[in-house]
Amino acid sequence: GQDEVHAGTVPGSLNIPGVDKAASFGAWVYDPEKEDTPLVVLAEDVEMAEAFRDHLLRVGIDTVTGYTTGLECLPMTTPEMIGPDELDAFDAAMVLDVRNKTEHAEGHIPGSEQL
């Protein structure tokens, strides 16, 4: 789940919240016209992995080459967490706001980009 990412994640991985949103979120973060990196999905079983693959295929992402049921034995990293009071001193390439447009319009970090 999303909270698990804060505890650790595989470097270079993409966090897509569930099969039903795989096409939408996948299309936001992976451009099949510019990328050809093979993808391995994290899934409970082969049926879920196939469902992920099928949803990603709908948006042109045809590079799913396999699946894994766990993160054991994979390289892990813990994303750096910073608080709002630390942003001014943080040298970020970009601050990305992944909330919807309505939430962003109601208030956001100055200079952030909305996805």
In the chain, what are the domains? 2-68 (3.40.250), 84-114 (no CATH)
Which residues neighbour 55 within 8 Å (Cβ) at sequence distance 6 or greater?
Answer: 19, 20, 22, 23, 26
pLDDT digits (tens, 9 = 90+) for 38-93: 999 999 999 999 999 999 999 999 999 999 998 888 899 887 788 888 888 888 88
78 conformational bin, left if phi > 0, alpha if psi -120 to 50, beta if neither: beta
Instruction: Write down the pLDDT at residue 34.
Output: 92
Alpha helices in 1-115 (DSSP H): 2-7, 22-29, 46-57, 101-106
Q: What is the CA radius of gyration of the chain?
A: 16
pTM: 0.69
